[in-house]
Amino acid sequence: MATDPSKRPGPEQVAIFLMSIGEGPAAEVLKHMGPKEVQKIGTAMASLERVSRTDIDYVLKRFSETAMEHTSLGIGAEDYVRSVLNSALGEDKASGLIDRILLGRNSKGLEALKWLDPRAIAEMIRHEHPQIVAIVLSHLDADQAAETLSYLPDRMQSDIVLRIATLDGVQPAALHELDEILERQLSGKNTAKSSMVGGVKTAADILNFMDASQSANVMSGVTQVDEDLGERIQELMFVFESLVDVDDRGIQTLLREISTDSLVLALKGADDALKDKIFKNMSKRAAEMLREDLEAKGPVRLSDVEGAQKEILAVARRLSESGDIVLGGAGGEQMV
């Protein structure tokens, strides 16, 4: 049965469009995208199958209609970006993203880091002042920043997260100097544009992507220095146990995206409230089978349990980003 072209995920539609326009033009388009976008679209390209003429016609027509709606591309683009994102996300949520987008047009040094392996980034910045490291990590996506942080010395990690959580913007001169340092290593260009980076939410997002044991050690260090700040970070972190606050429809959507093996392993380390939440959102037969699997599962390594929980959380965040579920709890959005 043919798939409705309009139902295809965004990356698949982009992949169909790029594969339709030819290798050269597609390469030129990809040059203007970030590493995350390239990875998503590349994955979509590699997994495309059963692409019909209807799919291609739909995507090309949609592109044509979108292009026709923008007859003054580039005119007032900055104001347009601010207006659209503020309307879509609200001013509080959009402010950091807007600064990051507008900064990214010129800040080649910082943006180039997103293409590097986290271990390489860690080697590059490990001897810099912790405040510089905090600014750099704040510019990375949370998962990349978390992995980079994990490669830095343990004694530095809590201090860096503390600095990230208390960042309240970066002065133009300081950002200019940092970008120049990175330019010399990455052949980028400098910028004097300021950016609102860091903050408690950024620190929480980074910690969410770290292993549970590492995250706990970092939080312990932060709390020893500033107990109030530690509590604020903890409130914004979404951990495996926070899934208990996701609504029933969200849990059902999540369960369709994860394997039974991963679920069994993850639940070995979960409390009864979360287990009951999961059981409630399964069919009676499926819940019985899951209980049996849990009882039959012998002792497992904590690292395996944490790995499975991390895998499920990654799926939950992906579903949250696509709007399929809302992550509840202290770090989630409130619904009214």
- Bridge partners of 170, per DSSP, are 195
Closest CA to 312 of 268, 259, 244: 259
Q: How big is the chain by its Cα radius of gyration, in Å?
A: 22
Sign of the torsion angle spanned by Cα atoms 151, 211, 317, 166: negative
Give the number of other Cβ atoms within 10 Å of residue 285's Cβ: 8
pLDDT at 277: 92
Q: Which residues of the chain have pLDDT under 50?
A: 1, 71-75, 103-106, 188-195, 329-336
pLDDT at 148: 92
Closest CA to 309 of 210, 185, 189, 166: 210
Q: Please give the biggest Cα pair distance in the chain.
A: 64
First to last CA, the chain: 38
pLDDT at 281: 93
Q: What is the pTM of this model?
A: 0.42
For residues 142-157, one letter each, b for 16 or more C-beta atoms within 10 angstroms of the residue's C-beta and e for the rest, the string is: bbbbbbbbbebeeeeb
pLDDT at 336: 33
Residue 8 DSSP code: S
| pLDDT tens-digit series, residues 147-163 | 999 999 888 999 999 98
| pLDDT tens-digit series, residues 160-175 | 999 888 887 666 666 6
